[in-house]
């Protein structure tokens, strides 16, 4: 499993570093741009509970609030 910190400097979206795009999308609450940073098989792991959510299970509008 690759973590963002391990691969962020190597990935590019529209020829921009991944972390720059990810952070910009998060800060601007741009859900479309934020979603482009994730693969369809992305899973969000909530470590405190062990819960795993797939892309379609996440309420992205609520998360970006």
Q: Note the residue count of the chain.
A: 65
Q: Is residue 52 part of a domain?
A: yes
Q: For strand 51-54 and strand 12-13, is the pairing parallel, antiparallel, or unpaired?
A: unpaired
Q: pLDDT tens, 36-55?
A: 888 888 888 988 999 999 98
The Cα–Cα gap between 64 and 23 comes to 12
Indicate whether 2 belongs to any domain. Answer: no
Task: Classify 65 as helix, strand or coil.
Answer: coil
| 26, 9, 1, 27 alpha-carbon torsion, rounded to 10° | -10
**Domain count along the chain:** 1
Domain limits for position 38: 23-65
**1-28 pLDDT, tens per residue?**
344 444 444 555 555 677 888 888 889 9
**Predicted TM-score of the model (pTM):** 0.60
The answer to whether residue 7 is domain-embedded is no
Q: Are 5 and 14 in contact (CB under 8 A)?
A: no
């Amino acid at each position: 499993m690759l973590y963002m910190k391990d691969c962020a400097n190597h990935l590019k979206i529209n020829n921009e570093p991944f972390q720059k795009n990810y952070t910009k999308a998060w800060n601007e609450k741009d859900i479309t741009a934020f979603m482009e940073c994730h693969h369809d098989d992305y899973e969000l792991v909530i470590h405190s509970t062990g819960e795993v959510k797939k892309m379609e299970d996440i309420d992205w509008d609520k998360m970006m609030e």
